[in-house]
Structure 1
Amino acid sequence: MSKPMIAVLPLYDKAKESYWMLPGYMKGIEEAGGIPVIMSLTADEEDILAIAENFDGFLFTGGQDVNPNLYGEKNENYCDEICEKRDFMEGILFHHVLRLNKPAFGICRGLQLFNVLLGGTLYQDIAAQRPGENQLEHKQTVSYDQAVHHVYIQKDSTFYNIMKKEVIMVNSLHHQGIKHLADVLVPGAKSEDDLIEAVYMPGKNFVLAVQWHPEFNYHIDENSAKLFLEFVKSSELSLKITKPVSKI
């Protein structure tokens, strides 16, 4: 049986004007049975459509902050670097993927991007905009493969169907998070300080995103491995769809 081809959105170094990639994104897909392919950032809308039509699954990676203009806010001083090239391409691609009902897996920025593109908003900086006695430190300083806090999984959710448990430990490497959740998304898990840490879109083959980073510990954490496995499994369904002839 053919393996699903997974489009992986690139990480981007503005200073060097270069694409780069963490091996965990690629190896997580490979070990789950898929073939990962790193995309280029293009503004050609026909090419973006061709990518959507010809790949079986789509991994939206971490990286720069989503431009606050996309959710109706000005860029505050505590918003970090943005990447307009990523915002543009990923926005168009995501909506094509939804229309084609193909799997989309978001990690960190990917979760935030899904929420914004579907009408939600973000905390531009959690520490600055969401202070409180019980506030967690969401940007860990220990090794990235180490879990540092709990997330509590919604019992009657797609996320629970994947994990088969109500509490898991995760790593944490973000300074932004979901403020107002998009109406079409459902929370799958929340942190100890009640920040939404996982979302999914009901009625779709697989539209799911997490705030933590399974690419750093999929090889030692069964919960992270499950996410890649379920994503690739869902992408295999796209192999049964007759793909239109299109340039890529």
Structure 2
Amino acid sequence: MKPVIGIPGNILTNFSPRYNSLPVTYTPHGFVEGLHAAGALPVVFPISSEENARQYVKSVDAILLAGGQDVSPLTYGEEPHLKLEETSLERDKFEMAVIKEAWAENKPVLAICRGLQIFNVAFGGTLYQDVSLYPKLGVQHVQVSTPETAAHSVTLEEDSWLGQLYGKKANVNSYHHQAIKKLADGLRPVGWSNDGLIEAFESSDDKHITVGVQWHPELMIHNSDAAQGLFDAYVQTVIDWKNKQA
């Protein structure tokens, strides 16, 4: 049986002039492609009540957290900065409930871009509401080049899951204007951009399997073996974890 990976979805409106204002539940297709190619079955969770998170998590083997809107600063006790962009508090609350349920059940989680940020916030971390607020900013974190093009390097801890996959350095794309400020307890930083921002984390204990990356491998899978390799390695990790539970 192929592992089933749950992806909390997003809501899109005004996606077509013909269907103006018709809400659509979706996830970016790169995640679907990457997981299919890795031998998994992705399933999209529509945004729902926090009470439904437990049943959604129980229905799958693992979770992938996708990108999207800014995380609302109300979730970590701050007022919105002038540079804050679109938020969805409903999505934030549902995803945090999914995250906490997956953590409680020790189910593997791969968190990408916004996913890394909301996971951090779910356990008490905070964010820079805009990277311009980071005092040591020196790297283009919102790249101008095309999505499949690597924009900057990330230095990785060699003993980490990501370090074993990529090595000491990874060249990644970058589309984030928010970033980790304070890292939550239970997580350890394993990747940094050259200006010192945390670009990757993993769970700090042996009980949980959590990997977060600030970049977008789903946009590079057709041009980068390393990008598809991240999905391949994650799915294999889920398979190994699932076999241990049997």
TM-score (normalizing by structure 2)? 0.91
The residue that corresponds to 1:191 in the other structure is: 193
What is the rounded CA distance, in whole Å, between the counterparts of 1:152 and 1:91 in structure 2?
28
TM-score (normalizing by structure 1)? 0.90
Q: Is the 8 A contact 1:198 1:209 kept in 2?
A: yes
How far 1:180 sits from its partner (Å)? Answer: 1.0
Residue 12 of structure 1 aligns with an amino acid whose one-letter code is: I
Q: Is the 8 A contact 2:201 2:211 kept in 1?
A: yes
Residue 39 of structure 2 aligns with an amino acid whose one-letter code is: G
How far 1:80 sits from its partner (Å)? Answer: 0.8
Q: Relative to structure 1, is the Cα distance of residues 181 and 33 closer, same or farther in structure 2, using a 3 angstrom cutoff?
A: same
Q: Is the 8 A contact 2:108 2:210 kept in 1?
A: yes
The equivalent position to 2:134 in structure 1, one of 126, 130, 133, is 130
Q: Is the 8 A contact 1:57 1:232 kept in 2?
A: no
The residue that corresponds to 2:117 in the other structure is: 112
The residue that corresponds to 2:172 in the other structure is: 170
* Aligned residue-pair number: 237
Deviations along 1:56-97, whole A, 9 cap, x unmatched?
A: 011110001111111111111111111112111111111110
The equivalent position to 1:36 in structure 2, one of 19, 28, 42, is 42
What is the rounded CA distance, in whole Å, between the counterparts of 1:187 and 1:240 in structure 2?
27
Residue 93 of structure 2 aligns with an amino acid whose one-letter code is: F
Q: Percent identity?
A: 35
Q: Relative to structure 1, is the Cα distance of residues 152 and 9 closer, same or farther in structure 2, using a 3 angstrom cutoff?
A: same
In structure 1, the gaps of 5 or more residues are: 243-248
How far 1:227 sits from its partner (Å)? Answer: 1.6
Q: Is the 8 A contact 2:47 2:90 kept in 1?
A: yes
Q: Is the 8 A contact 1:12 1:63 kept in 2?
A: no
Q: Is the 8 A contact 1:187 1:196 kept in 2?
A: yes
Deviations along 1:81-134, whole A, 9 cap, x unmatched?
A: 11112111111111110011111111100010111111111000011x1244x6
How far 1:238 sits from its partner (Å)? Answer: 2.7
Q: Is the 8 A contact 1:140 1:172 kept in 2?
A: yes
Which has the higher relative contact order, 1 or 2, with Cα contacts under 8 A spaced 6 or more apart?
A: 1
1:144-183 pair list within 5 angstroms: 144-163=147-166, 165-183=167-185
What is the rounded CA distance, in whole Å, between the counterparts of 2:50 and 2:42 in structure 1?
22
Deviations along 1:7-66, whole A, 9 cap, x unmatched?
A: 112132256432223211101001111001111111151x32111112001111000111
Q: Is the 8 A contact 2:66 2:115 kept in 1?
A: yes
